[in-house]
Amino acid sequence: MLGTQRADQADASDWLVSVIISAVLLVTLIGLNLIGTRVVPNAPAESRPRIFILWLCAAAFVGCFSGTTSVLYLAAPEARVLENEAVIAEAQAMFLAKSEAATEAESLLPLAETIRATAQGMYAQELANGAVSGDSSGIGRTTVELRGVETAAERATTQLIATRAEAGPLIRSGRQLLSSLRIVQSESSLSFEEKSLRIRELTAQLNSTSEELNSLIPIPLLRSLSDSLQKDWGRIGLSAQAERKLTEAFAAPARRISGELPALEAETLRKPQEVSEVEGFELIAKHSGDLAPLISVSVIIECLPILVVTLLVILVPAALSAPLPAATPFGHEPRAHSRPEATSRNPVYESGSVDRIPL
């Protein structure tokens, strides 16, 4: 209960700090936009470049901070969802690969039993009458090699039987964990934190199951069996007849085992990735490819005010400096003066001067 209260208090304090930072950032951006659209374009021509550079530096600094904040607020939740999906996909792929490798190893059990039975029968024939080597019966180089093949096949068979017995329950358990992961991932009643915690627990159990399956694949014993079947029988001192019969008996099984071994060995060397807790920009950078559209929109939004003010600084002074028609004071428009006509009511001298009109 105490831990829950402390967590709630921490969440409340984080929320309050976020609100304060957002408010300060909003006021700062509004102020910078007003300065950029009202003050900078209308500044005197001689001081306008300096004012614009100062404004640009301040806008770039605030824009970087605002962009960082917006990316964290917009991209971080999506990045956490992507991280959960990646963790599940990695654990699922690892489990399926280990299950397939264990099943493939189990499929070699009948072959190992056949090799053991063949080697045992040939050993008995050679020991009885030397039928394999064509030499005298009894213990010799041929019986020693056949005994070695039989022993390697017997060890591999024993381990493969254990693999079959233990791999089945592990595979069923892993499939149940996968089903639980799908249920948790689609559960809408859980909060994101609860869902993430549950996913981490289930994937850790699934990775443990994969490691147990990995340990059941008897790579050393299969390698030993393969080596015992592919010896150069003539070089180690066997007769031509023994070389021919051993090659006929063991060449095909040796090719199959040696063909399966590289893939099985490569799979056993692949280990499950540790589930690491990453947050913030490290998490966003990890999934930057999937988050590229969201990050691009955020960057464009932050660059728009700078672009608008730059256009105003370039265009507004040019418009103000364009020649305008000369303005005249209001009420003093020039009027055309005409010479008064000479009438009886308006006597005018021929010289053009106007005398006073007699009363």
Is 156 a residue whose pLDDT tops 60?
A: yes
Question: Average pLDDT of the chain?
Answer: 74
CA–CA separation, 146 vs 128, rounded Å?
A: 14
Average pLDDT estimate for 156-179: 92
- If we measure between CA atoms, which residue out of 231, 284, 225 comes closest to residue 258? 225
Q: Which residues contact 81 (CB under 8 A, 6 or more apart)?
A: 192
Is 155 a residue whose pLDDT tops 80?
A: yes
Q: Output the pLDDT for position 334.
A: 54
Tell me which of 34-43, 99-108, 207-216, 235-244 is least confident: 34-43
pLDDT in tens, 109-135: 999 999 999 999 998 988 888 888 877
Confidence of residue 69 (pLDDT cuts 50, 70, 90): low
The single residue listed with the structure tokens 């659209």 is 37
Is residue 90 exposed (0-12), middle (13-18) or buried (19+ Cβ within 10 Å)? middle
The CA-atom distances, in angstroms, between 186 and each of 81, 180, 181, 250 are 12, 10, 9, 53
Is residue 357 exposed (0-12), middle (13-18) or buried (19+ Cβ within 10 Å)? exposed
Residue percentage of the chain with pLDDT more than 70? 58
Let me know the angle formed at the C-alpha of 307 by 302 and 311, rounded to the nearest 5 degrees: 160
3-state secondary structure of 131: coil
Confidence of residue 326 (pLDDT cuts 50, 70, 90): very low
Average pLDDT estimate for 348-358: 47
- If we measure between CA atoms, which residue out of 265, 271, 270, 267 comes closest to residue 226? 265
Compare 306 and 353 and report the one with higher pLDDT: 306
Average pLDDT estimate for 164-178: 92
Is residue 121 exposed (0-12), middle (13-18) or buried (19+ Cβ within 10 Å)? middle
Tell me which of 100-104, 168-172, 293-297, 326-330 is least confident: 326-330
Amino acid at 285: A
Is 256 a residue whose pLDDT tops 50?
A: yes
CA–CA separation, 294 vs 298, rounded Å?
A: 6
Is 278 a residue whose pLDDT tops 60?
A: no
Cα 332 vs. chain centroid, distance in angstroms?
A: 76
Q: Which residues contact 131 (CB under 8 A, 6 or more apart)?
A: 125
Q: Output the pLDDT for position 86.
A: 79
Q: What is the CA radius of gyration of the chain?
A: 46
Q: Output the pLDDT for position 112.
A: 93
First to last CA, the chain: 115
